Structure 1
């Protein structure tokens, strides 16, 4: 083991590594479960949901895209965000360090899954995630995401892609930025908004994504949820165009004090199609959740973008409580569980023991095959 590898391991004790891995697993799997719970009712009104599933709405997975437990583009893109963050760390050995480019490259690989029949085994630079055949399924991908990742040139915050788009498609893929626990909060926020601007260029579209990443960051560091939200509000206040996102989060905090949580109170915060509404609804559900099951069912039973609010709330609650708090029956049935687990463990290993896996001088061949530098 090199000196840098020994230093990295010393920073992360065994208990700290296990806690972090549990939170990463919880984030990715919790998001997938929430996504799958909402996938089958995404376009239904609350009245239609109750008519079809009873007065409590859905209380379990319902069929979506051919079976129970299937996820949508929300989970697909979240996984590719993780892949891009790992690739950024590996590519740093070459002297190249621009994480937005690596995340953009990962989202371009997701875009390919929406157009190709299956993996291109000849392209070894794609890495292992892009060779997972189950990801090559169209699950109602958002138009802004498809347009943003359709061509090569990247956008910037000064010249973002889709400058009028403030849909929730950037928020729902941004939880992994918050798992960069070794980064300062302002850097996490900046990376998240730069990557969000590749598809959702309206300030509300990318600032809501940045706020979400910052809240996850606080939870991953062991902060309480309300404190993480307050930190996000403080960061938002420094950015032009923050008002819609700030107001939405403040309304979510206010709704907590208005009485027992109900589907109608969730709907008072919006429908979830835009970034700030999806974030506010999900934060509210996480704040009032008695446990993960209660919070996720509250997050999906409304007449709006149920899979996205379920996914975002699942990311929050999974990060807050860790993987062992996830309902086992849902965990056993959710699509892509083995892939999400494998990716979560790779991310945790990279962030805690990266120098033992790769360096400019020597790297584990298996790791570079999984996360190529090219």
Structure 2
């Protein structure tokens, strides 16, 4: 049986737009909006990192970072196991860390670094991951949303499993659940941007009861703040709306900045993928991860057919990754699991 072409388009859009947002945001990572304007003007395409880009200076234009790489690992776990298998995920992450010498790199966040260090030393990674509160779990859950499309509750449960090894704090788990739930709703189709946001809130509220109680702002409360900001600023230019989101929430790697901001940008652009990616990467700070998250959300909502074809060609050609086939495999495995 063939996949519904629109379902496949949205699943493919989620995966490939994750990579596009990652690669487009990469040159702006950890820069301020004014620094981006001074160096690049306005980012609207893939760029070679400027010499002031210290985290990703060696990556070529259109190249992906750990954000996309980790989402591909999650995809492979789901496809091979037919479910989210935490032990298989840990084994694949360990292999990735060794093969690409990730602990010698400057690209991974602090929570993922601690997870990989614990894996390589043979320690208890779930115990070590209890304090992880950055956005690494949220950036990689797109494949879970695809796999569990149409079943927000299942997406939330798989997101919990995927977050606990590395980002097990209340905020880390809640942010992963918010993104996975939103994507599960968006990929299924037939919904409004506000309904996607409502799914994100459901995920955040559930996840906040499942993570380790480390002090942090509420992910759900900040998603509501993002919704309120966008609703109040609807009649203003998109850049002004994004500046207001940035002023209230921030755009850093902490999950309680990155994820509510990214969901707010998704809501501000009504899920339109090209506009969403450009808007968020020009905010800066953790621009590659925020680009990946907004890409995954908007790509899941708008589909690959809405993405600039040149962007897809560039990111697939540069990185040699068959995103459409991976999307089809995630849908195929999910169908087999349902049967």
Both proteins in one fold, TM over 0.5: yes
2:77 to 84, 101, 112: 84
2:246 to 262, 267, 272: 267
Match of 2:94 in 1: 108
Aligned-residue CA RMSD in angstroms? 2.7
2:18 to 31, 44, 48: 31
Kindly tell me: are residues 232 and 112 of structure 1, through their superposed partners in 2, closer, same or farther at Cα, counting changes over 3 Å? same
Q: For residues 161 and 88 of structure 1, what CA distance do their matches in structure 2 show? A: 25
Matched length? 312
Match of 1:20 in 2: 7
**Is 1:202 the counterpart of 2:181 in the alignment?**
no
Matches within 5 A, 1:222-241: 222=189, 223-238=191-206, 239-240=208-209
Match of 2:328 in 1: 345
**Which of the two has higher C-alpha Rg?**
1
TM-score by length of structure 2 reads: 0.83
* CA drift at 1:282: 1.2
1:164-184 CA-partner distances (Å, limit 9, x unpaired) = 221111111111111123674
* CA drift at 1:47: 0.9
Matches within 5 A, 1:22-171: 22-54=9-41, 57-64=42-49, 65-89=58-82, 99-115=85-101, 138=105, 140-150=107-117, 151=119, 152=122, 155-156=125-126, 160-171=127-138
Match of 1:304 in 2: 285
Kindly tell me: are residues 191 and 154 of structure 1, through their superposed partners in 2, closer, same or farther at Cα, counting changes over 3 Å? farther
* CA drift at 1:275: 1.1
Higher fraction of helix: 2
Match of 2:55 in 1: none
**Is 1:212 the counterpart of 2:179 in the alignment?**
yes
Which segments of 5 or more consecutive residues in structure 2 lack a partner in the other structure?
50-57
1:217-274 CA-partner distances (Å, limit 9, x unpaired) = 1111113231122133234334436961011101110121232222422312212311
- Mean Cα displacement is larger for which, 292-301 or 17-26? 17-26
Q: For residues 354 and 208 of structure 1, what CA distance do their matches in structure 2 show? A: 26
The answer to whether the 8 Å contact 1:272/1:308 transfers is no
* CA drift at 1:107: 2.5
TM-score by length of structure 1 reads: 0.76
